[in-house]
Chain A
Amino acid sequence: MAASDITRFMNNARLRLTGATDETLQQELFNVMDEFFKGSNVWCEDLDIPIPGQDPVGTIYQLTPSGPSLIDKLAWVFELPTTSTIGRGAAIGAAMQVPGELTLSLQPSSTKTYRVTVVLTVQDPVARSGYVTFPAWVLAKYRLTLLDGLFGKMYSQPSKPYTNTQLSVFHMRKFKIGIASARVEWTRNNTYRQQAWRFPAFAGGSQRGSSGWAGPV
């Protein structure tokens, strides 16, 4: 995260939360980000996983995100494209009963590489500053929604100088609406007037001139 981004964010929070300490704000910010990412799915990562041929059915493949984060959901799995003119290969049936453990419905007979897209959420802060780590663009894009979440959670704490049940309800409602809005934007790949559907695989999405993204439809 850019320092100026989080500084502005924290200053906005401090202005309206009289008597709150930075440690408490950081603690609740973690909860806010966790709820936001789990509800909206906006933080995704593609992982290329080599699958050896003829592994037994039920073989578990470990998924590890590149940065400090936890895997929340398995979004989709595709084979790598065979040519550079298409965005992805065939869809692969897969499951993730335990977060981070991928199993395939059908094992390939020869070695392949699958592109696994996972939805991430925050992990315990690893930075010395105590701030939770997540992509900077999330704070830039969803600043007000995240502030609503932080206000809602802070105001709901009992017996604090900043306790305010009414404002807590108000901001939590806005936070939930913000999460729902972010989830819709994610399903539409942040594209204006994009439909919540896509052409089937045989059409490849190219008939609409789109990039053929793998939206969750």
Chain B
Amino acid sequence: MALETVAKYITAARVLLQDTKNTPYRYPDADLLAALSEAFPEAKKLRPDLFLVTPLQDFAVNDATVVVMDPMYRTALVYYMVGRAQLRDDEETQDQRAAAFLSMFAAKLTTVS
């Protein structure tokens, strides 16, 4: 199944960030791991019910660590990672893209979308 481990989340985010070639990467692993870690409290703020039995996780290494999240809402975490990463860019188009991904993150969690 897709989006089970930290590595799969990083890979999925890099596809949307168009950052799949390590020459080196435009967005380092550390930034994406921080974004993934930050996605959890943000998701809990919107959907506390998703964390009744699931703990908030923190990630420091791009490895096969399992990311515990209901399969219905895993894509939302990827959207948050992408949006969070693109916030650092100061180009106007990137700002819009960042805002769009962060909106999609919230929409994925709170609506049928």
A, B assembled together: yes
Task: Report A's interface with B, CB cutoff 8 A.
Answer: 18-21, 23-24, 27, 130, 157, 159-162
Partner of B70, one of A21, A27, A130: A21
Inter-subunit contact B52/A160 (CB<8 Å): no
- Tell me the nearest residue of chain A to B52, going by C-beta: A23
> Closest residue of chain B to A160, judged by CB?
B110
Can you report 16 residue pairs joining A to B where beta carbons are below 8 Å apart? A18-B112, A19-B72, A19-B112, A20-B49, A21-B50, A21-B72, A23-B52, A27-B52, A157-B49, A159-B46, A159-B110, A160-B47, A160-B110, A161-B110, A161-B111, A162-B112
State whether the Cβ of B53 lies closer than 8 Å to any Cβ in chain A: yes
Residues of B within 8 A of A21 (CB): 49-50, 52, 70, 72
The interface bits of chain B over 49-87 (1 if a CB of A lies within 8 angstroms of the residue's CB, else 0) are 110110000000000000000101000000000000000
Give the chain A neighbours of B111 by CB distance below 8 A. 161
Chain B interface residues (CB < 8 Å from chain A): 46-47, 49-50, 52-53, 70, 72, 110-112
A208 CA to B58 CA, complexed, in Å? 70
The CA-CA distance from A157 to B48 in the complex, in Å, is 11
Q: How far is the CA of A162 from the CA of B72 in the complex (A)?
A: 13
Docked Cα-Cα span, A162 to B111, in Å, equals 7
- The answer for the CA separation of A148 and B110 in the assembled complex, in Å, is 22
